[in-house]
Amino acid sequence: MSTPSAEIAVIGGSGFYRFLTGARDVSVDTPFGEPSDPVTVGELGGRRVAFLARHGRDHRHPPHRVNYRANLWALRSLGVRQVLAPCAVGSLRPELGPGSVVVPDQVVDRTWGRAHTVYDDTGPVVHVSLADPYCARGRAAVLGAAAGGDRPVTDGGTLVVINGPRFSTRAESRWHAAAGWSLVGMTGMPEAAIARELAMCYTAIALVTDLDAGVEGGAGVTHDEVLRVFAANVERLKSLVEDVVPALPADDDCTCRRALDGLTLPRPLP
């Protein structure tokens, strides 16, 4: 039986473990080991879609142990060129309370010890631009799908990615807020950077589950609280993603797809 292909992928975060129904599980080998879970491939809105649970369907992979390289490589191997990445985040701004959905336009990477590139082989050094880490056309599709409905979405904001798995101290949270950042999460990097290294469009859709510890009114974050708020809002988030998928551009006319133009790569891409 031939391996199915997909043009769009959804990477589900904490609490977002299943998405497609009547779809086929596919195991994909990569140079970086196994992805977090088998990839589920099916159809949605007339588009071929792959779904991958970032932490595994049983949430067995903590954020600092997710094999981001294998996940993105596996998706590209199946033909994916556009990625939607729902994720659970904390808010650094009181007006973005639990249940808010934000489409960030910038990211700050405060992670360490993770494999941050697929190009660490001996060979030509690969420097990929990440000035604008999220796909402009993907962001526009999300905002367009949310416009005029009962699913308000905040346009823009900076997501700071911490290493985890612990949550921030109050001092760290106040520092992040004072820097002007909007959200804090644990999985947005190196995921966005690796997607760019693979010339894939990448769009984060962030669901706020809590006010971070240093924010006014933030009492401190617990894992149970994150999962409880995400579970209360996951169907709304899935509905939004379902509307975004058919709205994504079907052509290759995007700067994300040309991120590797003119570069010599040390390994061929799938």
- Catalytic positions: 210, 212
Phi, psi of 188 (to 5 degrees): -70, -20
How far from the centroid of its chain's Cα atoms is residue 234's Cα? 15
- CA atoms within 13 A of residue 247's CA, in its CB half-sphere: 17
Detail the DSSP E strand segments found in the chain: 8-12, 24-26, 39-44, 47-53, 82-91, 101-103, 106-110, 153-155, 158-162, 183-185, 201-211
Tell me: cis bond preceding 190? Omega within 30 of 0 counts.
yes
Question: Which token pair is 154?
Answer: 């905040």
Q: What is the DSSP code string of 142-160?
A: HHHHHTTSS--EEE--EEE
What is the DSSP-derived secondary structure letter of residue 133? -
Q: What stretch of H or E contains 230?
A: helix 223-244
Helix axes 223-244, 136-146, angle to 10 degrees: 90
Cα separation, 92 vs 178, whole angstroms: 9
Q: Which of 57, 23, 56 is nearest to 41 (CA)?
A: 23
Cα separation, 159 vs 157, whole angstroms: 7
